[in-house]
Homo-oligomer: A and B are copies of this chain.
Amino acid sequence: MENLILDGRLVAQSVKDSLVDRVKDLSEKGIIPCLATILVGNDPSSATYVKMKGNACEKIGIQSQRIHLPEETTTEELLETIQKLNEDDSVHGILLQHPVPAHIDERKAFESIAIQKDVDGVTSFGYGQTAFGFGKYPSCTPAAIMKILEYYKLPIEGKHAVVVGRSPILGKPVSALLLNENATVTTCHSKTTNLSEIVKLADIVVAAVGKPKFIQGDWIKKGAVVLDAGYNEGNIGDIDYEACCVNASAITPVPGGVGPVTISMLLKHTVDAAEEKAAL
């Protein structure tokens, strides 16, 4: 089948282009949108991600306040850091890089981020608002998936979307966003017994498993749209890309698919948050 390759770099660029004038308008009011990123410990991939996000901010005129806490940081110390950022008027968004070291209560830390600054969409409160249709900052990867569908004008309403994965920042919110756009949504996971049969029903497949090449080519219905939110070592996604191309009508590559759009959504949410604050 002829595939439409869903080029995330084009989508990301269009999102970033839409922010330029907004950042300029804010700066004329003396406001510089600011994203605080918190990295705890020395995980090299996490360090790379945080750096990429910070650099992406600065490229479009968003200030990046980079906080690096040592591996041995306690939950209480992390909560204090977040609390200070919650109260800091110059900070519009807070990103706590996942994962934090195992001794820290990550959920407690996420939950302590003020809803107005939860531009990465990690709090249960933000998730609930998103699921109810009035969330301001859904998780960035789910938001990126929706943006790709919108950019390429791929219809959602009445389609059967199958999401493989149910994490709080990926499977659950992307299921909620697709449901709000009137897809019929099935959420699958490690306890799903007949996964291949269910994926075969899908008009839209979202892979959010975190396992390389997990989604097989013969699970894809002819004409399905396939979105790969996975990113595994060696630039490998959660889908078996070549094999899935056989039946997919449209598909995201890895790299250059969902990833770049995710970062652009983080930038957009940070600018949104700065505008919200300016309007208060």
Contacts and interface: CB of A to CB of B under 8 A. Distances in A.
Contact of A184 (B123, B158, B198): B198
Interface string A140-159: 00000000000000000110
A131 B171 CA distance: 12
A46 interface: no
What copy number does this chain have within its complex? 2
- Main secondary structure, interface of A, reads mixed
A125 interface: yes
A119 to B, nearest CB: 16
A182 interface: yes
Contacts of A124: 125, 128-129, 131-132, 134
Nearest to A125: B125
A168 B132 contact: yes
Contacts of A132: 107, 124, 127, 168, 172
Contacts of A193: 158, 184
A194 B176 CA distance: 20
Contacts of A127: 128, 131-132
Interface in A183-227: 184-189, 191-194, 198, 201
A226 to B, nearest CB: 19
A126 interface: yes
B186 A185 contact: yes
Contacts of A96: none
A170 to B, nearest CB: 13
